[in-house]
Structure 1
């Protein structure tokens, strides 16, 4: 009789344990799904913005490169001013001569041409030369990102990525080239993100770090975004207790 009761208790405890494990696994899958939706929304937003900025810069550079106007002529300056006011994400455009910035749409022909700093990168897919955070070019000593093609140069507006500069807790994003050799922009703690390029979180893998990754090969712009989801016990202790209760009632 006593042995039978002991067996029943053991069986009940086993079922409670198995029910709790199953409930925890289900809860983790639900949490992962929510975290994936969160990082996918954030990452895709950063990606679309990065692509828009790059496409705008390349379109303007190609337009200026095909222009029949003599560089820095009155007609050229008027065209560049029109481009600056019409193109989003750009703060100015200009012309280069022998490694110097000689005129811009906003400032006109410069009395003292400005020597361009050493380039940061040349992106082979579109043959654009890049400068990151260059100082001494824009007025007031502001650091600007620039790209050039031929004798034309465009300056990215500081506000182009402003809304991503202070990401929510546990979020991070890296805008980079497809070979991960150059980083256009970074937001949050991006240490270790570059090697994640090309990977995305699988729904069936239980992992704290959820990953979004996407590339546009035509303009060589990629984004890796991550969200380090907190443990279930830390985010919702009441939910954790309910999960255990679910195991007991299973």
Structure 2
């Protein structure tokens, strides 16, 4: 009886899951159909500013898309994200083509522009749509063995998710004691079939020996998990207490990494980076203790300690050298902190340097609460501080952010810098596209992660006014080493060395 109840519950959940998949599929198909029609109906000149603006408006308002591109002779010549391309990007061979309708489809392939994300792409002879890999993420199933399949009338499967080969599910679409399958066709308005399944319904199909073994294993695992959780909890409690104590005693320290103007080799600024060394845990990586601070409500205190220490150490240097800037990282929660801005004003005024010498780096991690973030950024800008958009190029909404947030600086993510020198043509096309985009944006650009002279030369050849930051010039250093680095041009330490062909000129 209990197994039948479990099976009935599984059936109800599977029906609800099918409804969710059907609704999402209908929305995606409707969006794609409308956008193909609207872009063609607009009749703008190909890749003109008007057409790019229209495509960007559509892209920013449809989270299920990663990009919209214009095609010519089966090659990408421009897109909403990358603008006009320096050279066309040829499309790969489609997974499926429909000659009568003139449409092509690519299933689970590397996106044709950046080559880093697995996406689905659909195109006619004029327009290419890139469907985001997370288009169905909002309806992720609760059961591990559950999946869905979207298939067309001719048997093609444009999208599928789940642990079983979709062909196997389609061929054996009847439910059994060890597999639940529901299928509905023609429910999305696009002539497709939605098939959902649960390959592990309840405990059906499991013999007594298996269940006994599972029970014994579960018992052993429960004991091990209990011991592990107790140990982890003790560790976390210990680290939480240690971090609270370190923040109370202001034991978090700050190092600085210079920003260099590539065409002159001159130091124009530095980024403050938080560090923590504990006698028990050793040198704790920044991402570890920053994440820990966020999880335990310690971020406001950590941010204030870092800002106070960074300005306290670099304040004299900034006052004496008005051309230098100091970059400080802020979280989304920091921007919404109503008291933080007054705290920053107080610290800066104590050291008597200009507000525009402080640059606050923010990273786009989600679109939630965007209006509040926009208002918070406006408050910073209104008091003379500058905003830098960090890790540019890694999120779906960076262009949307740039259109609304008053960023005076962009920091290009190191993943793009590391593409330099790659033999892959996709990487070369990606770099050409991002340099074209940056040229159109007309804001100060910093390339992170420069580690070789080849990378520095490549960036300089494509972006004459670019700034660079990375180990090729200097690792993070103390304020004393930074002052010596700036005044003497270099520091005679193995771990702090400027580029071999660039002379770092004194700025003080």
TM over 0.5: yes
What is the CA-CA distance between 1:193 and the residue it aligns to?
A: 0.8
User: What CA distance in whole angstroms lies between the structure 1 residues aligned with 2:100 and 2:159?
Assistant: 15
- Is 1:213 paired with 2:192? no
What is the CA-CA distance between 1:47 and the residue it aligns to?
A: 2.2
User: What CA distance in whole angstroms lies between the structure 1 residues aligned with 2:119 and 2:6?
Assistant: 40
CA contact (8 A) 1:176 1:222 kept: yes
* Correspondence for 1:103: 78
Compare 163-172 and 112-121 and name the one that shifted more: 163-172
* Correspondence for 1:223: 194
User: What CA distance in whole angstroms lies between the structure 1 residues aligned with 2:101 and 2:11?
Assistant: 32
What is the CA-CA distance between 1:166 and the residue it aligns to?
A: 7.1
Q: CA RMSD in A?
A: 2.9
* Correspondence for 1:148: 123
Specify the SS of the correspondent of 2:55: helix
CA contact (8 A) 1:125 1:218 kept: no
- Is 1:134 paired with 2:109? yes
Q: What per-residue deviation string (whole Å, max 9, x for no partner) do you get for residues 87-136 of structure 1?
A: 23111101100110000111111011100001111257864311123336
User: Where does the alignment leave 5 or more consecutive residues of structure 1 unmatched?
Assistant: 1-23, 238-250
What is the CA-CA distance between 1:172 and the residue it aligns to?
A: 2.4
Higher strand proportion, which one?
1
CA contact (8 A) 1:53 1:89 kept: yes
User: What CA distance in whole angstroms lies between the structure 2 residues aligned with 1:230 and 1:90?
Assistant: 36
CA contact (8 A) 1:134 1:145 kept: yes
CA contact (8 A) 1:166 1:187 kept: no
User: What CA distance in whole angstroms lies between the structure 2 residues aligned with 1:29 and 1:218?
Assistant: 35
What is the CA-CA distance between 1:215 and the residue it aligns to?
A: 2.4
- Is 1:118 paired with 2:118? no
User: Where does the alignment leave 5 or more consecutive residues of structure 2 unmatched?
Assistant: 212-508
* Correspondence for 1:193: 169
User: What CA distance in whole angstroms lies between the structure 2 residues aligned with 1:91 and 1:101?
Assistant: 15
User: What CA distance in whole angstroms lies between the structure 2 residues aligned with 1:170 and 1:134?
Assistant: 24
Residue of structure 1 aligned with 2:26, choices 42, 47, 51: 51
CA contact (8 A) 2:21 2:139 kept: yes
What is the CA-CA distance between 1:73 and the residue it aligns to?
A: 0.9
Specify the SS of the correspondent of 1:226: strand
Show the 5 A alignment for 1:1-250. 30-123=5-98, 127-135=102-110, 137-139=112-114, 141-163=116-138, 168-190=143-165, 192-196=168-172, 207-216=177-186, 218-227=189-198, 228-231=200-203
What is the CA-CA distance between 1:232 and the residue it aligns to?
A: 6.0
TM (norm. structure 1) is: 0.70
Q: What per-residue deviation string (whole Å, max 9, x for no partner) do you get for residues 168-208 of structure 1?
A: 223222222233333422222245211255x6x5xxxx734
Specify the SS of the correspondent of 2:160: strand
TM (norm. structure 2) is: 0.37
What is the CA-CA distance between 1:150 and the residue it aligns to?
A: 3.4
What is the CA-CA distance between 1:152 and the residue it aligns to?
A: 0.9
Structure 1's 155 and 136: CA in aligned 2 closer, same or farther, altered over 3 A?
A: closer
Specify the SS of the correspondent of 1:160: coil
Compare 131-140 and 98-107 and name the one that shifted more: 131-140
CA contact (8 A) 1:56 1:88 kept: no
Specify the SS of the correspondent of 1:141: coil
Structure 1's 183 and 68: CA in aligned 2 closer, same or farther, altered over 3 A?
A: closer
Specify the SS of the correspondent of 2:164: coil
CA contact (8 A) 1:36 1:211 kept: no
Structure 1's 181 and 72: CA in aligned 2 closer, same or farther, altered over 3 A?
A: same
CA contact (8 A) 2:7 2:202 kept: no
Q: What per-residue deviation string (whole Å, max 9, x for no partner) do you get for residues 119-172 of structure 1?
A: 111257864311123336132532321111230111111221234667622322
Structure 1's 34 and 57: CA in aligned 2 closer, same or farther, altered over 3 A?
A: same
Number of residues of Structure 1 aligned to a counterpart in Structure 2: 205
